[in-house]
Structure 1
Amino acid sequence: MLPPKSKKNDGRTSDLAFLWMLTTLGAEWRQWQELAAKWMATQTLGISDKREALGRFFESYIAEYAPYAISDLSLFFKGYQGHKCSSEEFEQIIRSTVAASANIQKGMNYAYEFIDFVVKDVFSEKDNYGNLVPLVLNPLRKIKKGYVATETVRNPLPYRYIQNLRQILCPLPDKTELTIIGQNLKQEEKLLPAWHYRHFKYWVWAQHAGSDWFEVGPELIDKNDPDCVWRTREVTRKGKKITLYQIWSPVKAMMIFIKLHLPLRSSQVRMLDSGEADTWRYENGRWILNTRHDFALGSAKRPFGKGIFRRIYDTMTGLYSTGLYINTNKTADQNKNELERGYIIPWQNEEVLYWLEKLRNWQEKYNP
């Protein structure tokens, strides 16, 4: 068996198809390699610099800091187990290996342009007017000549702010907590993505920031449910002191959460349907026939579906995946009947699906 090729003789200096990645880094890099070759084929200037910048991006950043994204590109945008890719992190890596400011700029900007290409090529869909709509945000950013680290070229709200806002609203376990969780797992259990260890009870900032509490009877409170956030208040009514029981509603906080993860307008989020009348029901990552509600419509052969959870059949694999159905689309819905409105986001965003399912279950239990 031949030893693996070193960086010096793996042919990368003249390999614009990035085939060296498969021999030097491994076959699991196939999708990154194909996208890199496809992007490079569209370039006409600065070929050598772009080839070198992508090589550094793959080897120094993805391989070392985000190895979870090697075989699953979507995790580069979503993150995994508390880590999310960012310009700040990538910039530090480039600065540790590159001295010239011009080369730092090229390394950042060419990686950004490549990821922007990936978003358009893989993680976008056409709207009713044929325009591409991105389904994910590019976590990298461009830097201008002269290099001002705090400036952003494209996004009005830098991605690191979006990350911080997500963490404030829905704080995920840190590495220490995940380590403890992993140590307490049973032998046959595997560590799940970080959000699986969170419930609405952890959304403390939203509970204190808003007035989304409503009165309920004490019998409705489930003290064993981590998604049932409740409190008592002593008040005086008609001259008598009484105890009020209140439950916190996560609906408004979920609106903010969805907007921090998906490129949707507030009006679109407000109009999303929980899908309780749909033929198929999304439950714990699987699809089952909806027998929970007697008002469910359609049948297995002719299913009805207007809810946010969308069952998508892949004709190539014969398997089903889960996308998102947005039931409003502003002017594109004009002159359409109700069943033709909206559009599908064919992206199985596990974190968003997890919390949407929690919200639907909460509504069924506490706000029927």
Structure 2
Amino acid sequence: MGAPAERPQFERALGRRLGGLVGVAALAGLAWVARDVPLALGGRLAGARAERAARSPRFRDGAFHNPASTRTMVPEPGRNLLWELVFGKQKRRPSAAVPLLRPADAPGGTDQSRELNIIWYGHASALIEIEGRRVLLDPVWSERCSPSALVGPRRLHEPPVRLDELPALDAILISHDHYDHLDLPTVRELLASQSAPFVVPLGVGAHLDRWGVPAERIIELDWSESHRVGGLEITATAAQHFSGRGLRRDGTLWSSWVVAGAHRKVFYTGDSGYFAGYAAIGAEHGPFDATLVQIGAYDRAWPSIHMYPEEAVTAHLDLRGGLLIPVHWATFNLALHDWSEPVDRLWAETKARDVRLAVPRPGERVVVDDPPAVDGWWQSVA
């Protein structure tokens, strides 16, 4: 290798060479990861899909609209959201691992025609087991909810099961096209491992179409439209939110969902602010055996598009719901509140208003007719 005096020069040259190789490898890795970013942005309305969207009562001037005016960034004098994000004192990650469970076997001896169980996998991803059928909601299994695997909100816990461990599905529901509800890698895997149709709001089919989902597996619905699958009636209902991937805003519709069998009914809010439409949905489609209600990622800067926990309880009552199961919390940091604040506030509100509540650990099966007592499990890891 040479005399001792020559080693520093050799080591510097070797370091430069290795550094260059590492830099090239990093750039190559970045290019490999980034190759799917344009694809992850999805498709655009065109052709027959655009013509159908234009006929929707919710569509005008090239975009979908809420029935009432909403503002997604309400300015507050003296408040700096970026400063709060970087220097805020909120506790946005748990101190210990979020406890995960593998779903236990469904209870035996149950009349399948009356079956109703819910498995929450984290964030808004959940499985409805209803009258012998299986409906998957907003599946996101990726490490980040982002078009990129390198940047964007990262999971606070792993998925409790792998996608290939899911049972055979009858339908896959998507509430809207935001990255924490519609995920390209997850769709790709479900496309390969399942045969169920994707039931989505108007326009969202453009993303699925670009990602290779065959037309016969894409069912697009406007609000108040229904699709029957395996004895279930799945109905798109109103929500107060917005949509868009990349720079595109509101080119696709957002929706809540009613999943109704012959005897049991479930409602899923998707993402939504509180609005009078919940009472109308409850009057038309309720009562519901269970509601899955968004409780997290709220802030006073966007009060009309995500519900506060107290509003979630009011929505549940408006819907004429039986058991309330909170979703959209504990998995991704999408707001400035403490990670566990939504469920703490929800628990207090349900006790004050005598509302039945179940707060499952990720992966835990909730038997709606015999739910587990709320034990505050999240407080042990908060």
TM range (shorter): under 0.3
User: What is the TM-score normalised by the length of structure 2?
Assistant: 0.24
User: What is the TM-score normalised by the length of structure 1?
Assistant: 0.25
Higher relative contact order (CA closer than 8 Å, sequence separation 6+): 2
Query: Is the strand fraction higher in 1 or 2?
Result: 2
Query: Is the helix fraction higher in 1 or 2?
Result: 1
- Rg: which structure is higher? 1
